[in-house]
Every structure is written in C-alpha cells, then in structure tokens.
Chain A
Amino acid sequence: MKKLFLGVLTALALAAGGTFAGTLDDVKARGNLLCGVSTGAPGFATVDDSGKDVGFDVDYCRALAAAIFGDPMAVKFVGLTSAVRFTALAAGEVDILARNTTWTYSRDTDLKQTFLGVNYYDGQGFMVKKELGVKSTTELDGATVCIQVGTTTELNLADYFKENGMSYEPVPTADNAESQQQYLAGACDTYTTDASALHGTRVNLENPDDHLVLPEIISKEPLGPLVRHGDDNWADIGRWVLNALVIAEEKGITKANIDSWKDTKDAEIHRLLGTGDDDILAMVGLPKNAMYNAIKAGGNYGEIFENNLGATSGINIERGVNASWTKGGILYSPPFR
C-alpha cells in the first residue's frame, strides 16, 4: 500500500508545485538531513540492539550530515523499499538516497537521477541451502528464485537464465526480510540479490554455515548514493564528501589520527581538512572544516567498510575491488583541489 501511496503522493506533490533547487538551504533550514536508506540490509542499513541506525550507507549519510552541520547525528533516516525509493527521492521525501542502489544508464537519464559516484562495487549472487547440494548457478535450472521487486537484479536474473537456456520460477517479494523468510520456509530454492547483501543476510541467519553464497557473480552492480536532477550544487556536495572519505583512506587519515596532520607538508591534506589558508569548500556553501567533520564522524572509507562490512562487523566481506587504487583495488578519487 505504501508504494501506491507514494505514487499518489508524487502526483500530488507535482500537482501542488514546488521546485527542488536549493536543497542545501532547505536542509539547513530544516536542521537535519533526510537520508533514504534500506528498510533492513545487514551491513548497509540496519538498526542495532540499542535502536541506533548503523551500516555502510548510514555512515555515509552521517558523514554528509557532519559536513553540513558539524554533527553526524543531525540526520533522519527514512527506510525505503526498493520499489518506492526513486519515487520518494523525486517527490522530495528524502534529500539523498543512500540505499545500495545500482547506477545504471536508464536510472541516470530516464529516471532523472544524479549518481554521485560508486561507494561499493557489487555484483549479483545467489544463496542456497547447503543441503541442496548445489555448487554453481549453472545447476539452478528449474529452481524457484526469491527476488525483490523493482530492482536491477530482476532484470539480470531474467537475462542470465535466458542466456544459459535455463528455466526458473520467480517469487517476487517486497524486501530483504520477506525474501529471507520465504527462503528459510523453503518457498524458494535460492535467494538472489547483490552479493554483499547476501553475505550480510547469511551471517544473521540462525545457522550461517547451513547456507552457501554461490561463487558466480552474474552482473555488475556499482552501488552509490544519488540525488534527483536539478540541483548540481547539492550533487557536488554529496559527491565530494564521498571522495573525501576515499582520499582520507589513501592519505592514511583516520578518525583517530585526524588531529595530527596540522604540520604535514601535503597541501591536499590541508585543503581537505581545512587547516590551510585556502577555503575552497566555500565554493559549494560548506564550512571550511566540513570534510574534517565528515571524516571525523565515522572514519575514512576503509574504516567505514571494516566497521560495517569487513572483519570488525562479522560479515567478513573482503575488500577485493573495493580497495583503494594504491592497494590493488579500483577505488580512485579525483584530486581535491
């Protein structure tokens, strides 16, 4: 019902008028950032035992809020299902969408969104119960597949099974929790979604060792935050907060040592942390120490990754291609100047 409601809401929002330029001013006037996140994707956006929002996407939004307000807690998280996320963003329900969303051509152009970059290079995988004895996706002919509606995975799935001449029966579900429940009840043989989400889901199952994420990755899923078309300054802010986190890791700036760079000879670090003479962040309307606050909020990209997806989190996803380019990965930020 929520989807329908949002659809109507868009129509009403459109009918009622209102432009979306000047998002930064709106956010400042409101006093907090509205960040659209997943309704429950372990590692990316969940609520911990103490009721606090945690996750990879959550930490990005906290960094953004810290850059704007100097306070990482000045952000309100809005849980969105995969089907309503774009509508909610277009209707102005959220300022930014950080909801493990795949960057695609049609979303960028036809859906009128601006992707700010890639914060996680992912791919679509499959999870099965070990007792099934399946070792590869090529053995899935005739399987019943649980899948979240309104995602790119739905299209990849159709293409992959068609290319390989296999048949399958889709069982559409509304979100990760419902997929998980159907999968555990045996109403589907396999659950498919982004591999990172599968790993995150698996460790939270009762007996993680009874389940297996198959080795094949059937698609490219570059995930990243996005904003709606029409406010380039706002897009620049989001993009450069993301870049700042990546640069910080490259330079070795961490949450713990961030205050010890005052005497460095690296001019880029001074520009980044606002410790130099230049105030280049005024160009986008942010305070001089915005990026300092952003990095201070949850650490650099590497720290955020480790805390939410890596060894510290228990999900144990390897950095792989998501390592910095200096360490063999493909994470590479344009220079901060």
Chain B
Amino acid sequence: MSSPTLPPSESFKFSMLLSDTRYRGMSLQVITFIIFMAVFFWLVDNTIKNLALLDKDVSFNFLWLRAGYDINQRLIPYTSDSTHGMAALVGILNTLLVAFVGCIIATVLGLFVGILRLSKNWIVAKLMSAYIEGFRNVPILLWIVMVFALLTEFTPAPRAFKGAEPEATMLFFESIAITNRGTYFPAPVLAEGAYWLLLCFGLSIVASIYIIRYANKQKKVTGKSLPTFWISVAVIIFPTLILFFAMGQPVSLEYPYLKGFNFKDGIHLRNSFLALTLALAFYTSAFIAEIVRAGIMAVSKGQSEAAASLGLRPNKIMSLIILPQALRVIVPPLISNYLNLTKNSSLAIAVGYMDVRGTLGGITLNQTGRELESMLLLMGFYLAVSLLISSFINYFNRSFQIVVR
C-alpha cells in the first residue's frame, strides 16, 4: 500500500481564520454568536441592575398569592380566594377556547367562501369577493368592537322578557334567549345511566369510521361505491336513540329561565365571548378563503377537465380530484392564519373578555405590579401555544404531501 500524497503540511496561522475559506465560515459564525450573547447578557444584566435601582426584584411568588378578584367566564372552578396562578390558568383556558372555536368556524367558513368565490354564478362570486375584501381590509379590532356593539345595542335586556306582555320573547319554543348580556341555550343534564348512552354514542362513531374504511376498500377492489354517508348516519343515530328511550330518557334539557336580574341555568354564552370569537372567525376566514382559492387555482385545469371527461359530477371532481391536491398548497399558509387568530385573541380586553391577557396580563399585573414577570409569562405562553399549533399541523401536513420515492 502506498500512502496517498498529502498536501504539503502548512503550519496553522491565526490570520487563516479569516483568510482561509476552510475556516472563515466557522469563525464568522462564532464571532456573530459571541456578539449576540454579549448583547443578550448586557440586556439581562441591565434589567436586573435597574430593577434593583427601583428597589424591585424578579419573583414569581405572586402566582401563589390570593387573587381576590372574580372572573365571569370560568371553565374550571375558581373563586376570588383562588391564587393568581389559578386566575392565569382560567385565562389560558379562555384564550384556548376562543382560539379553538374561532379556528374551526374560520376554517369551515373560509373553505366555503373560497370555493364559492370561484363559482361561475356571477352574484355568488361577487358576494364572496365583497365578504373577503370587507373583512380582510378592516382592522380586526374594529370588527371585534363592531360585533360587540351590535350584540349589546340591538338585543333586549333580560328585563324585557319580564311581565305578562313582554317586549321580547325567547326563541325556539322558549328555549333560547338572546339578550344584551349573551345568549342562553338549554343545557343537557345527565341523569343516572347517561354514561352508558355516551359510551354507546362513542362506539357508534368508531363503528361508522370502520364502515367508511371498509367501503373505501371495497371501492378500490370492486370500483363500486356504497352510500356510506347514510349508512354511517344511521349507525351513529339509531343505537343511541333506541338506548335513550329504552333507558327511560336519562338525558334531559335544562331550560334557561328568568330569575331576578338575569337568566338562570342553561348554557350562557357571553356577548364578549361571542363577539370576540365571531369577529376573529370572520376576519380569519377571509384570509383562509383566499388561501383556499389559491390552492384550487394551483391545481391545473387539465385535472378537472380530465375528471369531467371521465363522467364525474362537479361535486365529485371537487372532493376527489381538486381538494386533495389543493390541500398541499393550502395547509402550510393555514398554519400562520391559525397562529394569527390565536395571537389576535389577545385583543379580548376591548370587549372585556377575560382571556390570559385580561387575567394574568391585566388584573393580576395591575394588582401585584409585577409587569416584567407577567409579560414574560405571557410571552412564554403565546410562544408555546404557537409552536404547539404549528408542530401539530406540520405533522398533519406531512400526510398530504406527495411521497417521493
């Protein structure tokens, strides 16, 4: 074996760190990193020093102190005796609720509006354009305040439902009350045995999923499609319905009724929640609609023509040919719209909705005077939620992408 000829060994010189392309890239990165860390430490050090100058320290102990204030919308048990940490948690759940409901409504609306904007029907297409441009080009804060004003100014006060000849009446057989404090719906009350019903319902859903899978397999083998929609609807509804009557109706509805100042019982959706969720959903749906339109238009026209020449009907073409391909284009920008909706929910204070910005970043911050700590926690929360949402959808997105072998 002959040893390979090595390049003439050069002794390493310090100047080579910048002049030699082998080292230059690395040394520039190290320098940038050092400068970045220096600035970062200067900022932290300066903050601590100046806090000390103001006689303030950085401490998160306030999270374990009694909060002392009440929150109207609570998804978990909370009283004024709970801690500031609990108040923050109540706010976090309220934020997540708005974000979750808002994203669902926005997606459904956006999908419909986006598809309808491409409709050949002139009026439909123009109406959808007006919807998109209207919501997309007005600041979200104005929409939130506007929806809230509509909900509070043009709906009757609970007192209007009082008396022998009330000015306002409840809708749908005295079950839903729309007031300027929110909308009251009947709430389901679970009696003994209701859990069996829930179990049955859950199993029915699982069964219908299996039926759909089976039908898809059959379709691949035989080419015949089964009426899966009606079959699965029947599977989901009938067993639960039969059990419901067989067990003597273990689930009943609790209707809201007027007592004293307000409606009691039932599910109370506050106007602040409705206004915030609807405004965020409308606003974001306009952006999603444009993304959907872009996704559909990105699918070449030849695809739909080919499908049409095979004899597929327009709705089949949309669901089988175009949307599956369009999703690849649609999903990535969809993430950023979900993130925007979640972050925009921090405008909740404009309508007095108690999200995490209102509890931790509002009342708690104000009562304890811990601005820096509260803001850091808030930023950490929004960062974590955003990263979670995007990693989740990225995971989801991978299943849509074309697999390259």
Contact = CB atoms under 8 A, between A and B. Distances in A.
Interface of A: 1, 3-4, 7-8, 10-11, 14-20, 82-83, 86-87, 90, 106-107, 110-112, 132, 141-144, 149-150, 154-155, 157-159, 162, 168-174, 178, 182, 185-189, 228-230
B55 A112 contact: yes
Nearest to B73: A169
A15 B180 contact: no
B298 to A, nearest CB: 36
Q: Which of A82, A83, A149 has the most CB of B within 10 A?
A: A149
Interface residues on B, range: 35 or more
Contact of A185 (B43, B141, B153): B153
B46 A182 contact: no
A158 B260 contact: no
Contact of A170 (B54, B72, B159, B261): B72
A143 B49 CA distance: 48
Contacts of B374: 7
A142 B259 contact: yes
Nearest to A91: B371
Given A14-B47, A187-B152, 7 more contacts: A4-B346, A7-B365, A17-B49, A106-B368, A141-B260, A144-B261, A182-B152
Nearest to B365: A7
22 contacts: A4-B357, A4-B361, A7-B361, A7-B371, A14-B47, A14-B54, A14-B372, A15-B43, A15-B47, A15-B50, A83-B365, A132-B159, A155-B69, A169-B262, A170-B69, A172-B349, A172-B363, A187-B157, A187-B180, A230-B53, A230-B54, A230-B55
Contacts of A17: 46, 49-50
Contact of B159 (A4, A168, A186): A186
Contacts of B305: none
Contact of A150 (B71, B79, B157, B366): B366
Interface in B120-150: 141
A10 B374 CA distance: 12
Given A3-B349, A150-B367, A158-B69, A11 B259 contact: no
Contacts of A10: 371-372
Contacts of A19: 53
A19 B47 CA distance: 12
Nearest to B368: A110
A189 B261 contact: yes
Contacts of B141: 1
A45 B57 CA distance: 34
A16 B46 contact: yes
B181 A110 contact: no
A87 B352 CA distance: 20
Interface string B355-392: 00110011101111101101100000000000000000
Contact of B366 (A16, A143, A149, A178): A149
B363 A144 contact: no
A206 to B, nearest CB: 16
A111 B69 CA distance: 18
Main secondary structure of the interface of B (DSSP, over half): helix
Contacts of A1: 141, 347
Contacts of A110: 368-369
B260 A170 contact: no
Nearest to B362: A149
A204 B365 CA distance: 32
A86 B366 contact: yes
Q: Which of A87, A170, A228 has the most CB of B within 10 A?
A: A170
A159 B368 contact: no
Nearest to B154: A185
Contacts of B53: 19, 230
A112 B362 contact: no
Contacts of B43: 15
A132 B357 CA distance: 34
B361 A172 contact: no
A88 to B, nearest CB: 11
B51 interface: yes
Contacts of B225: none
Shortest Cβ-Cβ A-B pairs, 10 listed: A150-B366, A186-B157, A158-B80, A111-B369, A142-B260, A172-B352, A155-B68, A14-B50, A143-B261, A15-B47
Contacts of B79: 162
A67 B259 CA distance: 58
Contacts of A169: 72, 181, 262
Contacts of B99: none
B254 interface: no
Contacts of B330: none
Contacts of A86: 366, 369
A90 B54 contact: yes
A154 B369 contact: no
A3 B375 CA distance: 11
